[in-house]
């Protein structure tokens, strides 16, 4: 992982650590996860960081700085989140503390029912406008915002399955889906890039999945039930059973019902609101709302769908660490 590079060139090292392991882990993943990924280069052993094995003073300084951020717990407001405005088919950066949105660029095609995730240091989106596709989206350079690759989700033996949530655990993409052609995405499985098929299916422990994220070493799923029953937050780690951890009341105005979900802090998650104009923070302990933040900086008719936190904002995932 640390030595992964499709070219002979070594890319510049930035100010954070996660893409060094090339698995898309959030910056606040437990230190032991990153230690395991780096240990084979003898950079980390015995719980300590050994910088002598890394060439160039700038590498040593920046890795040490990143290590310190990990140890202290990086301020969440410094993290970068992305979302898609499906009204104008634009990609945005979202400051989840203030709600400020910054346009990145146009998708170049229509999107609907979006769920976002990161894999291999790149942003991927589920699009269920006409068929189920998974799309890689560029977030840097002249083509920022553009869809650069598209894969068709073929479903399982049932034919055209509806995809609810998309999330990656490391480099493996997972989806929630229906197996009856309806929108009740009550099943869970891995999705294969090469064939387009879904494998290892099983129930998610709730009748539907409106959005999914992966953090704290498990999956988190939102199910908007109805006005009488509110919403449920479900969590678990495949292949073990998923369970409902809690929820809250249903917002009949559709502003503050959570959909796609992402990590925020050690105690809270952040979700995109159903109307696409509010961010909703939720307790990891019981799923209840803890804060609602209006999104600003986008057109008044913008509707945001999907939310994903960048594992690193400026590291190219092709970075190579070279031992002495």
**HSE (side-chain half, CA atoms, 13 Å) at 291:** 14
Residue 202's CATH number: 2.120.10.30
pTM of the full structure:
0.73
Placement of tokens 């055209």 in the chain: 160
137: β partners: 123, 147
pLDDT at 155: 64
Q: Is there a domain that residue 86 lies in?
A: yes
- Decide if pLDDT at 156 tops 70: no
On whether both 129 and 193 belong to a single domain, the answer is: yes
Q: Per mean pLDDT, which range of 46-60, 182-196, 253-267 is the poorest?
A: 46-60
- Decide if pLDDT at 104 tops 80: yes
Q: Is there a domain that residue 206 lies in?
A: yes
Domain boundary among 48, 72, 96: 72
What is the DSSP code string of 260-272?
EEEE-SSSEEEEE
Q: Which of 53-67, 83-97, 127-141, 145-159 has the highest mean pLDDT?
A: 83-97
On whether both 115 and 143 belong to a single domain, the answer is: yes
What is the DSSP code string of 73-106?
---GGGS-EEEEETTTTEEEEE-TTT-BEEEEEE
Q: Is there a domain that residue 318 lies in?
A: no
On whether both 225 and 201 belong to a single domain, the answer is: yes
On whether both 263 and 288 belong to a single domain, the answer is: yes
On whether both 23 and 55 belong to a single domain, the answer is: yes
Distance (Å, rounded) from C-alpha 19 to C-alpha 14? Answer: 10
Distance (Å, rounded) from C-alpha 291 to C-alpha 117? Answer: 23
Strand-pair category, 172-177 with 48-49: unpaired
On whether both 217 and 288 belong to a single domain, the answer is: yes
pLDDT band at 153; cut points 50, 70, 90: confident
**Which residues make Cβ contacts (< 8 Å) with residue 7, sequence separation at least 6?**
318
Q: Is there a domain that residue 10 lies in?
A: no
Domain boundary among 30, 52, 72: 72
Distance (Å, rounded) from C-alpha 315 to C-alpha 297? Answer: 26
pLDDT band at 206; cut points 50, 70, 90: confident
Q: Give me Rg for the CA atoms of the chain.
A: 19
- Decide if pLDDT at 89 tops 80: yes
On whether both 121 and 185 belong to a single domain, the answer is: yes
Domain count within the chain = 2
- Decide if pLDDT at 61 tops 80: no
On whether both 179 and 43 belong to a single domain, the answer is: no
On whether both 157 and 37 belong to a single domain, the answer is: no
On whether both 44 and 141 belong to a single domain, the answer is: no
Q: What is the residue range of 36's domain? A: 18-72
Cβ proximity of 307 and 83 under 8 Å: yes
Q: Is there a domain that residue 323 lies in?
A: no
Q: Using the 8-state DSSP alphabet, how is residue 13 labeled?
A: P
pLDDT band at 181; cut points 50, 70, 90: low
Q: Per mean pLDDT, which range of 41-55, 109-123, 204-218, 233-247 is the poorest?
A: 41-55
On whether both 193 and 134 belong to a single domain, the answer is: yes
Placement of tokens 């052993």 in the chain: 45
| Other C-beta atoms lying within 10 Å of the C-beta of residue 32 | 10
On whether both 189 and 49 belong to a single domain, the answer is: no
Percent of the chain with pLDDT over 90: 45
Q: Is there a domain that residue 321 lies in?
A: no
- Decide if pLDDT at 100 tops 60: yes
- Decide if pLDDT at 162 tops 90: no
Q: Is there a domain that residue 193 lies in?
A: yes
pLDDT band at 21; cut points 50, 70, 90: very low
Domain boundary among 39, 54, 72: 72
| Other C-beta atoms lying within 10 Å of the C-beta of residue 230 | 18
* pLDDT 10s digits, 268-318: 999 999 999 999 999 999 999 999 999 999 999 999 999 999 986 434 333
The average confidence (pLDDT) of the chain is 76
pLDDT band at 219; cut points 50, 70, 90: very high
pLDDT band at 36; cut points 50, 70, 90: very low
pLDDT at 312: 64
pLDDT at 186: 78
């Amino acid at each position: 992982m640390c030595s992964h590079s499709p070219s002979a060139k070594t890319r510049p090292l930035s100010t954070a650590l996660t893409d060094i392991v090339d698995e898309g882990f959030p910056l606040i993943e437990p230190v032991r996860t990153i230690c395991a990924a780096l240990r084979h280069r003898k950079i980390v052993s015995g719980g300590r960081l050994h910088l002598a094995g890394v060439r160039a003073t700038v590498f040593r300084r920046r890795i040490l700085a990143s290590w310190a951020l990990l140890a202290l717990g990086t301020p969440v407001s410094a993290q970068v989140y992305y979302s898609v405005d499906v009204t104008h088919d634009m990609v945005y950066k979202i400051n989840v503390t203030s709600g400020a949105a910054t346009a990145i660029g146009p998708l170049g095609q229509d999107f609907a029912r979006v769920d976002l995730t990161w894999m291999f240091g790149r942003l991927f989106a589920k699009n269920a406008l006409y068929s189920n596709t998974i799309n890689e989206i560029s977030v840097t350079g002249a083509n920022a915002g553009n869809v650069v690759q598209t894969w068709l989700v073929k479903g399982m033996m049932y034919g055209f399955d509806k995809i609810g949530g998309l999330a990656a655990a490391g480099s493996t993409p997972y989806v929630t889906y229906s197996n009856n052609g309806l929108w009740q995405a009550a099943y869970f499985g891995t999705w294969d890039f090469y064939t387009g098929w879904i494998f290892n299916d099983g129930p998610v422990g709730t009748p539907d999945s409106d959005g999914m994220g992966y953090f704290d070493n498990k999956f988190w799923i939102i199910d908007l039930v109805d006005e009488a029953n509110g919403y449920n937050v479900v969590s678990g780690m495949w292949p073990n059973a998923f369970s409902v951890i809690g929820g809250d009341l249903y917002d009949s105005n559709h502003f503050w019902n959570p959909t796609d979900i992402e990590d925020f802090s050690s105690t809270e998650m952040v979700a995109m609101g159903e109307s696409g104009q509010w961010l909703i923070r939720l307790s990891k302990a019981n799923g209840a709302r803890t804060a609602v933040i209006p999104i600003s900086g986008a057109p008044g008719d913008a509707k945001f769908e999907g939310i994903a936190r960048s594992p690193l904002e400026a590291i190219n995932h092709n970075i190579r660490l070279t031992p002495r």
